[in-house]
């Protein structure tokens, strides 16, 4: 299971540098230090390899923002900025992946790959929508597509800048900057001076993946565990205290080398409260799987 990851990482590195078509399976194999044949015990084809790469890294980068978004302690504006920030931090950490992603070029577009791209876009847009509504309420609805579209494009282009540029842009500043610009544009729409250009009909291709019950259906187990934990905490009378603990867990889990003992301790705090215990247990199993639950 570890060699698989090594292959993914080597492949990302090479593909980021030379592009998908100009990276051969042989080169990837050489770079990991195994034979070409071995690659095929992990990935049935080159295409499956790149799809696995996308799934692996996209999850890593996006989960961070998702989790911060659940935190109800921060006011909406700051929370939005914070979510961008942690995503930018993630991007900085997985620079090669982003470079690869930005090159765009990959296998001759197949069902599988297109489906994934679609899910990714849907996810991004439903995430943005959620945040815009948190910030401005339902009255932003008529302008949401214009705002989301501009936001997404500015976000993406700054991402590119981060990855390319020598001197690093600070994720926290960038997050605040972005939200500030969105805010200016949104306020202008709300004042009614600009008219929107995009509507639901036109944007249908992007709206799939968001569905009635909360937009995040295709989510991984881990994210669902986060979500359900936060939900049960919100219902609790002492929610403030438990939110703090959970935020601290979230913060720790975002580090490249989370301190396992700290995490276990924090989880213990949650598990001591009966109404939350079960959900906390579930998340702990997701985040710290190897040693399991030896209660």
Partner DNA sequence: CGTAAAAATGACTATTGAGTCAAGCACATT
Partner DNA sequence: AATGTGCTTGACTCAATAGTCATTTTTACG
| Nearest distance, CB of residue 18 and DNA, angstroms | 9
| Nearest distance, CB of residue 109 and DNA, angstroms | 14
293 binds, among its own copies, DNA, none (CB under 5 to 8 A by kind): none
Full 3-state SS string of the chain:
CHHHHHHHHHHHHHHHHHCCCCCCHHHHHHHHCCCHHHHHHHCCCHHHHHHHHHHHHHHHHHHHHHHHHHCCCCCHHHHHHHHHHHHHHHHHHCHHHHHHHHHCCCCCCCHHHHHHHHHHHHHHHHHHHHHHHHHHCHHHHHHHHHHHHHHHHHHHHHHHHHHHCCCCCCHHHHHHHHHHHHHHHHHHHHHCCCCCCCCCCCCHHHHCCCCCCCCCCCCCHHHHHHHHHHHHHHHCCCHHHHHHHHHHHHHHHHCCCCCHHHHHHHHHHHHCCHHHHHHHHHHHHHHCCCCCCCC
152 binds, among DNA, its own copies, none (CB under 5 to 8 A by kind): its own copies
Q: Contact between 35 and DNA (CB under 7 A)?
A: yes
73 binds, among DNA, its own copies, none (CB under 5 to 8 A by kind): none
List 5, 45, 156, 264, residue binding DNA (CB under 7 A) = 45
Q: How many CB atoms lie within 10 A of CB 257?
A: 6
Q: Contact between 99 and DNA (CB under 7 A)?
A: no
| Nearest distance, CB of residue 3 and DNA, angstroms | 6
Q: Contact between 113 and DNA (CB under 7 A)?
A: no
| Nearest distance, CB of residue 150 and its own copies, angstroms | 5
What are the residues binding its own copies (CB under 8 A)?
Answer: 18-22, 103-105, 108, 149-150, 152-154, 156-158, 161, 164-165, 167, 169, 173-174, 177, 180-181, 184-185, 188, 194, 197-198, 201-202, 205
23 binds, among DNA, its own copies, none (CB under 5 to 8 A by kind): DNA
181 binds, among its own copies, DNA, none (CB under 5 to 8 A by kind): its own copies
List 47, 172, 183, 273, residue binding DNA (CB under 7 A) = 47
The residues that touch DNA, with contacts defined as CB under 7 A, are 3, 22-26, 34-38, 40-41, 45-47
């Amino acid at each position: 299971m570890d060699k698989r990851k090594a292959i993914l990482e080597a492949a990302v590195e090479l593909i980021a540098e030379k592009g998908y078509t100009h990276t051969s399976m042989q080169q990837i194999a050489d770079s990991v230090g195994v034979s070409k044949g071995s690659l095929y015990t992990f990935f049935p084809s080159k295409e499956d390899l790149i799809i696995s790469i996308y799934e692996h890294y996209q999850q890593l980068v996006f989960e961070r923002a998702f989790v911060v978004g659940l935190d109800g302690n921060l006011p909406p504006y700051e929370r939005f900025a914070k979510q961008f920030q942690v995503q930018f931090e993630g991007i900085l950490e997985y620079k090669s992946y982003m470079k690869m992603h930005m090159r765009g070029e990959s296998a001759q577009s197949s069902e599988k790959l297109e489906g994934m791209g679609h899910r990714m876009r849907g996810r991004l847009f439903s995430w943005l929508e959620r945040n815009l509504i948190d910030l401005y309420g339902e009255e932003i609805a008529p302008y949401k597509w214009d705002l989301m579209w501009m936001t997404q494009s500015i976000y993406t282009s700054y991402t590119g800048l981060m990855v390319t540029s020598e001197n690093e842009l600070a994720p926290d500043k960038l997050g605040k900057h972005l939200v500030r610009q969105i805010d200016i544009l949104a306020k202008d729409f709300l004042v009614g001076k600009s008219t929107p250009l995009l509507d639901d009909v036109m944007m249908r291709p992007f709206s799939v993946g968001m569905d009635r019950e909360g937009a995040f259906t295709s989510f991984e187990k881990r994210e669902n565990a986060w979500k359900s934990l936060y939900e049960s905490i919100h219902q609790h009378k002492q929610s403030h205290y438990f939110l703090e603990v959970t935020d601290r867990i979230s913060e720790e889990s975002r580090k490249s080398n989370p301190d396992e003992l700290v995490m276990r301790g924090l989880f213990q705090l949650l598990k001591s409260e009966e109404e939350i215990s079960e959900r906390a247990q579930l998340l702990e199993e997701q985040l710290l799987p190897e040693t399991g639950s030896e209660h």
